[in-house]
């Protein structure tokens, strides 16, 4: 029998062992980790909404009205007004007829793909798709095909071969992210939609890192490119730019009903706390507002400022990978930034990214000041 101590030792020797960080303050640009005050370049709270007064007020008001928990799954007796109001807003914002809210993004990915697909179906994923999307595809028992990152030529070849051989009544779904979580680059969404339409298949787009960052109303890359109506499944999370928690799928009403009947992570989970959904709705409304527009402008100003300081091309998103290569060196640089310069910029290593592509995953937010970004730049330059 394997012993956990031996497995942990192997991870340690390969510089792949992870440890939980004891954070002792709210998600802010300056926060406390294990007693140290650090400058935070690790959070996905891109617009700085996790501590926004109106969102906290919505949380508190809903807590008083609806209580701390939902009591049951949505299909039993846990489908409360805050959940339904959030879904209505999401459907309208995404231009779909319906939406379904899950407890988190991972549950959304796994539940959706395993519910929509079955043996005989095919799912075609970008190679750099998030682990939750890969896990959902595996659980579905569908045939999995993978195309090299953003490689439209290979994607079309896979679509051609798949649709030629597809059994009657089978489904084929293309899965991609709008903004990729580790490289921060964007998908060629318009071109993927053209291929989707040419071959008559379905498309799921994960806007986890696009929501709040792209689009006139902050609804993501699909809104920015004005192609929302061409996407069958809009997926996203409410724990990044929205600053709260939860996941969602916006889609047609029939598919929404199918997910509510087949998505195991939805059916067999207690519904999210009603106050969580109320706060997420308040966050989405703020993202849609003039204040949300101003926060997006500040975020992009910060991204441009970092690009100017580092004399590097403008990043495609708030995610900036600082490539190192081997895991030990990436971990050493992250530790040096933390202990010598009081900066938290985590090392991302295999299996989160491919072997020998370890990097620091730096995230900028609208809450960072120019001085914060300048401190990051000088610390990286000195290291």
Which of 146-150's residues contact partners 24+ apart within 8 Å by CB, and which partners?
149/180, 149/183, 150/126, 150/185, 150/187, 150/188
Which neighbouring-strand residues pair with 40? 344
Residue 85 bears catalytic tag: no
Region for residue 60 given its phi and psi (left: phi exceeds 0; alpha: psi -120 to 50; beta: otherwise): alpha
Catalytic residue among 52, 83, 94, 130: 130
Catalytic residue among 177, 183, 223, 372: 177
> How are beta strands 347-348 and 233-237 bridged, if at all?
unpaired
Catalytic residue among 103, 240, 265, 334: 240
Residues making up the chain, counted from first to last? 383
- Looking from the CA of 232 toward its CB, the CA atoms found within 13 Å total 20
Bond preceding residue 351 cis, omega within 30 of 0? yes
Which of 85, 88, 99 is closest to 249 using CA atoms? 99
**Which residues, 6+ apart, have CB-to-CB distance to 363 below 8 Å?**
41, 42, 43, 44, 46, 318, 319, 320
Residue 308 bears catalytic tag: no
Catalytic residue among 87, 121, 126, 206: 206
How does DSSP classify residue 243?
A: S
Catalytic residue among 178, 181, 222, 327: 181
Please state the φ and ψ torsions of residue 246, each to the nearest 5 degrees.
Answer: 120, 165
Q: What is the DSSP string of 302-348?
A: HHHHHHHHHT-PPPSSSEEEEEEESHHHHHHHHHHHHHHH-EE--EE
Burial letters 20-33, b for 16+ CB under 10 A, else e = eeebeeebebebeb
> How are beta strands 98-102 and 247-251 bridged, if at all?
antiparallel
Catalytic residue among 83, 94, 196, 209: 209
Residue 130 bears catalytic tag: yes
Residue 181 bears catalytic tag: yes
Q: Which positions are catalytic? A: 44, 130, 177, 181, 206, 209, 240
């Amino acid at each position: 029998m394997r012993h956990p101590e031996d497995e942990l030792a192997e991870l340690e020797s390969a510089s792949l062992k992870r440890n939980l960080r004891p954070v002792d303050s709210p998600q802010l640009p300056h926060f406390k980790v294990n007693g140290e005050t650090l400058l935070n370049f690790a959070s996905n709270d891109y617009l700085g909404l996790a501590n926004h007064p109106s969102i906290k007020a919505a949380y508190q008001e809903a807590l008083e009205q609806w209580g701390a928990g939902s009591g049951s799954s949505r299909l039993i007796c846990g489908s409360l007004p805050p959940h339904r109001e959030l879904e209505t807003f999401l459907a309208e914002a995404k231009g779909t007829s319906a939406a379904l809210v899950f407890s988190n993004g991972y549950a959304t990915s796994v539940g959706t793909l395993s519910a929509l697909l079955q043996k005989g179906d095919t799912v075609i994923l970008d190679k750099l798709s998030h682990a939750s999307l890969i896990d959902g595809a595996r659980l579905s028992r569908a045939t999995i095909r993978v195309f090299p990152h953003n490689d439209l030529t290979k994607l079309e070849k896979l679509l051609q071969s798949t649709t030629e051989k597809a059994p009657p009544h089978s489904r084929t779904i293309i899965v991609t992210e709008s903004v990729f979580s580790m490289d921060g680059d964007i998908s060629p969404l318009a071109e993927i939609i053209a291929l989707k339409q040419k071959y008559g298949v379905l498309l799921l787009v994960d806007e986890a890192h696009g929501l709040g960052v792209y689009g006139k109303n902050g609804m993501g890359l699909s809104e920015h490119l004005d192609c929302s109506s061409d996407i069958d499944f809009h997926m996203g999370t409410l724990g990044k730019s929205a600053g709260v928690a939860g996941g969602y799928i916006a889609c047609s009403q029939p598919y929404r009903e199918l997910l509510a009947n087949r998505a195991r992570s939805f059916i067999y989970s207690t519904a999210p706390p009603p106050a969580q959904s109320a706060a997420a709705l308040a966050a989405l409304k703020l993202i849609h507002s003039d204040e949300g527009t101003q926060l997006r402008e500040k975020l992009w100003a910060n991204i441009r400022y970092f690009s100017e300081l580092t004399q590097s091309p403008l990043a495609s998103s708030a995610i900036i990978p600082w490539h190192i290569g081997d895991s030990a060196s990436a971990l050493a640089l992250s530790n040096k930034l933390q202990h010598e310069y009081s900066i938290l910029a985590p090392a991302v290593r295999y299996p989160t990214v491919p072997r020998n592509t370890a990097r620091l995953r730096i995230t900028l937010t609208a809450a960072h000041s120019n001085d914060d970004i300048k401190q990051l730049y000088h610390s990286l330059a000195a290291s």
